Amino acid sequence: MSWTEHQRAMLAEMGLRVWDAPGAQEPVVAVAAEAVGAGPASRPIAVPVTVAPQPHIVSPPGMDRAPGAVATMDWPALRDAVAACTACSLHQSRRQTVFGVGHPQAHWMIVGEAPGEEEDRRGEPFVGRSGQLLDNMLRAIGLSRQAGTLAGSGESSAPEDPAKQVFIANTLKCRPPGNRNPAPDELARCEGFLIRQIELVRPKIILAMGRFAVQSLLRSTAPIGQLRGRVHHYQGVPLVVTYHPAYLLRNLPEKARAWDDLCLALDTVEASAAHAARGA
Ligand code: URA
């Protein structure tokens, strides 16, 4: 693949660099050496970038619609229900619930794990260090969250093109104390809200980040490394599995694989748009 200057600049957003490795037939996407403290004069840390395999459809594990009253809620009702939720003990320690952010009809839906301290303070998902990396990753493929646009908050929806927008939500809407992992009963009690959010957004692609998003949406406990690289489906929506940004911050070489995952998601959206245009 040949990379334009623009694409190289985009990759730099993610801390990746295109390296014209001696002897290699194609440039290699690699983690910039500076990013891992090797010094600017050093070679990048080369990470073999897998060519995205042919999308392979895995049958959905079959999750029902959002349960009970949640199944028919519109955005404002859903937002209110989340804000008032006391279904698990997390409501006792939260500052506030973290509903989700983004365009209500975004073509891209990002599903993370749970709010951390900063998110609990600000009421918006992914606003800490992981969030900065997530925003850079999204920017690298031309996407953005509509900062300050909270579906169901009563704010007027902005005119941005939904194809370039994301909606970001977590499996849990409340922060687990000390940022511990979500507990199974917390995930189970909260999942109706996420299901309803997906039903309302009807995204063209879901990016499931990290093992708890994958457990909730695919009902799989397989390692991320085994699930990434192919297209799954959730309620008929294509779903791509990738690493959680917090994991990428601790494991910089995996950023090149996360880039592969973003490219697979982008290819998937573009392929279905082309298919729809042909059928129209
Ligand atoms: N990690 C997540 O999974 N979600 C957030 O909102 C913040 C950090």
Q: What is the CATH number of the domain that holds 193?
A: 3.40.470.10
CA–centroid distance, 264 to ligand 1, in Å, is 22
Q: Residue 196 half-sphere exposure, CB side, CA atoms within 13 Å? A: 24
Question: How far is the C-alpha of 131 from the C-alpha of 228, rounded, in Å?
Answer: 21
Same domain, 136 and 265: yes
Answer yes or no: is 178 within a domain.
yes
Same domain, 35 and 86: no
What pLDDT was estimated at residue 21? Answer: 61
Q: Is the CB of residue 122 less than 8 Å from the CB of residue 116? A: no
Same domain, 153 and 224: yes
Same domain, 40 and 114: no
Q: In the structure encoding, which two tokens stand for residue 114, read together?
A: 């749970």
Query: How would you label 106-118 residue by residue, b for 16+ Cβ within 10 Å and e otherwise?
Result: bbbbbbbbbbbee
Q: Is the CB of 182 under 6 A from ligand 1?
A: no
Same domain, 88 and 40: no
Answer yes or no: is 60 within a domain.
no
Answer yes or no: is 54 within a domain.
no
Nearest atom in ligand 1 to 124's CA: 6
What pLDDT was estimated at residue 60? Answer: 38
Nearest Cα residue to 229 out of 243, 247, 213: 243
DSSP H or E run through 109: strand 108-112
Q: Is the CB of 212 under 6 A from ligand 1?
A: no
Nearest atom in ligand 1 to 213's CA: 3
Provide the whole-model pTM: 0.82
What pLDDT was estimated at residue 19? Answer: 64
Ranges of H-type helices in the chain: 5-13, 75-83, 90-93, 117-122, 129-140, 184-201, 211-218, 224-227, 245-250, 255-279
Same domain, 73 and 43: no
CA–centroid distance, 247 to ligand 1, in Å, is 11
Same domain, 132 and 169: yes
What pLDDT was estimated at residue 63? Answer: 46
Q: Residue 190 half-sphere exposure, CB side, CA atoms within 13 Å? A: 30
Answer yes or no: is 128 within a domain.
yes
* CA-angle at 67, arms to 65 and 114, nearest 5°: 90
Residues in the chain, total:
280
DSSP 107: S
CA–centroid distance, 270 to ligand 1, in Å, is 27
CA–centroid distance, 170 to ligand 1, in Å, is 7
| pLDDT tens per residue across all 280 residues of the chain | 556 666 666 677 677 776 666 666 666 666 664 444 333 333 334 333 443 443 333 333 434 556 789 999 999 999 999 999 999 999 999 999 999 999 999 999 999 999 999 999 999 999 999 999 999 999 999 999 875 455 555 555 555 899 999 999 999 999 999 999 999 999 999 999 999 999 999 999 999 999 999 999 999 999 999 999 999 999 999 999 999 999 999 999 999 999 999 999 999 999 999 988 888 6
Same domain, 131 and 29: no
CA–centroid distance, 115 to ligand 1, in Å, is 5
Domain total in the chain: 2
Same domain, 146 and 254: yes
Same domain, 125 and 188: yes
No. of H helices and E strands in the chain? 10, 10
* CA-angle at 211, arms to 91 and 65, nearest 5°: 65
Question: How far is the C-alpha of 22 from the C-alpha of 70, rounded, in Å?
Answer: 57
- Using DSSP's 3-state secondary structure scheme, residue 232 falls into strand
What pLDDT was estimated at residue 154? Answer: 56
Question: How far is the C-alpha of 104 from the C-alpha of 109, rounded, in Å?
Answer: 10
Answer yes or no: is 216 within a domain.
yes
User: Which residue range(s) make up the domain with 14?
Assistant: 5-47
Q: Is the CB of residue 31 less than 8 Å from the CB of residue 253? A: yes
Answer yes or no: is 59 within a domain.
no
Q: Is the CB of 100 under 6 A from ligand 1?
A: no
Same domain, 117 and 149: yes
Same domain, 167 and 96: yes
